[in-house]
Amino acid sequence: MENYDTILTEQINHIARITLNRVQVHNAFNPTMIEELTSVFKQLGNDLSIRAIILTGAGKSFSAGADLNYMKSTKDYSLEENQEDAFRLEQLFYTIYTTPKPVIARINGAAFGGGVGLICASDIAISVETAKMAFSEVNLGIMPAVISPYVIPKIGMANTTRYFLTGEIFNAIKAKTMGLIHETTKDHSELDKKIQEIINHIFSSSPLAMTAIKQLLVKNRDSDFQTVRKYCIEKIAEIRTSDEGKEGLNAFLEKRSPKWKIENW
């Protein structure tokens, strides 16, 4: 995989791991990180050898959101320049959300602002229970605008209203009750064990079906009800007649593992 300035990437047994690597600023993102993350997610999404993507942070933090020095520079941008900058940031979240691979957020520490947005754009989120989180934008006189389409479906309007308006800090255990986090662990060792369990399930799943399911989820959010109904009919018929669809049914009836299954990670 390529070398990047702000992130680390590695591939192990069909799993890609992306590590935010600006430890000195708690993995806050700047324009370079935004560009690199968008690029690598697009690349991995098209890589047929990749079955899942893990997103995590180096050091003690997951991500502090936008770098304050970067945010400070935007006050001198014109309205048009600020819109272009916001578009690039929103494209990052949308790229993660629509990546045709399962994305697992491995939350190793604190996540604030846009860092929580990265979690919400991911498919599965596992965190150490001590991790602190907040939508801290309101305390800086700005708003969590571009992450809101990903946050609201995760935690609901009631939780969004409270935590967007107050900017108060909550831990991963509270985040789990809101639906932001799927599971919490006591330490990083347990965190990796839990993620390994999830990867093992992914390895038994059909790659084609997982991609189709991610497309289905996006379609359900972005389209009206009648359009979704028609889409679902077309897609289930399409996947039933695919090679993987036929293989999955035959494997079940013949009491054997399907050909796509990979041995545990």
Q: Are residues 25 and 136 in the same domain?
A: yes
- Annotate 7-37 with b (16+ C-beta within 10 A) or e (fewer): bebeeeebbbbbbbbbeeebbbbbbebbbbb
What distance in Å separates the CA atoms of residue 101 and residue 104, rounded to the nearest whole number? 10
Q: Is 249 left (phi over 0), alpha (psi -120 to 50) or beta?
A: alpha
Q: Are residues 92 and 177 in the same domain?
A: yes
What distance in Å separates the CA atoms of residue 223 and residue 221, rounded to the nearest whole number? 6
Tell me how many domains the chain contains. Answer: 2
Q: Are residues 17 and 114 in the same domain?
A: yes
> What range does the domain containing 228 cover?
207-253
Q: Are residues 245 and 167 in the same domain?
A: no
- In a domain, residue 263? The reply is no
Residue whose structure tokens are 């935590």? 163
Q: Where are the alpha helices (DSSP H) in the chain?
A: 31-45, 68-74, 79-98, 114-121, 148-166, 172-178, 188-203, 207-222, 225-240, 243-253
Mean pLDDT by 10 residues, the chain (265 residues): 90 96 96 97 95 98 92 82 90 96 98 97 98 94 92 96 97 97 97 96 94 92 87 87 88 88 73
Is 136:65 a contact under the CB 8 Å cutoff?
yes
| C-alpha distances in Å from residue 233, one per residue of 192, 227, 237, 245 | 38, 10, 6, 15
- In a domain, residue 198? The reply is yes
What distance in Å separates the CA atoms of residue 174 and residue 239, rounded to the nearest whole number? 38
Q: Are residues 113 and 229 in the same domain?
A: no
| pLDDT of 264 | 64
Q: Are residues 218 and 124 in the same domain?
A: no
Is 133:125 a contact under the CB 8 Å cutoff?
no
Q: Are residues 214 and 192 in the same domain?
A: no
The residue among 183, 203, 223 that closes a domain is: 203
Is 29:66 a contact under the CB 8 Å cutoff?
yes
- In a domain, residue 32? The reply is yes
| pLDDT of 79 | 86
Q: Are residues 81 and 138 in the same domain?
A: yes
Task: Determine the distance from the C-alpha atom of residue 221 to the mean position of all C-alpha atoms in its chain, rounded to a whole number.
Answer: 16
Is 203:260 a contact under the CB 8 Å cutoff?
no
Q: Are residues 76 and 102 in the same domain?
A: yes
- In a domain, residue 260? The reply is no
Q: Are residues 221 and 197 in the same domain?
A: no
| pLDDT of 119 | 98
Q: Are residues 160 and 214 in the same domain?
A: no
Q: Are residues 233 and 161 in the same domain?
A: no
